[in-house]
Amino acid sequence: MIRKSILMRVNPDQHEEYTKRHNPIWEELEAILKAHGVHNYSIFLDPKSSHLFGYLEIEDEARFEAIAQTDVCKRWWKYMRPIMPSNPDSSPIAKELVEVFHID
């Protein structure tokens, strides 16, 4: 498995809405993620800074990157755009973090 971590933000007044939209996540989005080899996906919120920390494990980078081309992913991005900083294509502004330590 490939471990990935990402840093995003949610608008400060949208913490509750962000949480609500993920609980539960759309079934079709969950199916796409799993079909593309995503496992053990979690997102954590720092309420003071509005930062979101995402952790996930993937089977393959190319399969993971293909998720962005799916209709359900594009719809999800548009759905989330009003509550978090986003790119022109509606994808969330995200920064991949570099792993510096891991222990099993």
Catalytic positions, written as ranges? 22
Q: Which helix (H) or strand (E) holds 44?
A: strand 38-46
Measured between alpha carbons, how far is residue 104 from residues 14, 32, 44, 71, 80 in Å? 35, 28, 21, 36, 34
Of 6, 3, 5, 13, give the one whose Cα is nearest residue 82: 13
| Residue 76, C-beta contacts closer than 8 angstroms, at least 6 positions apart | 26, 29
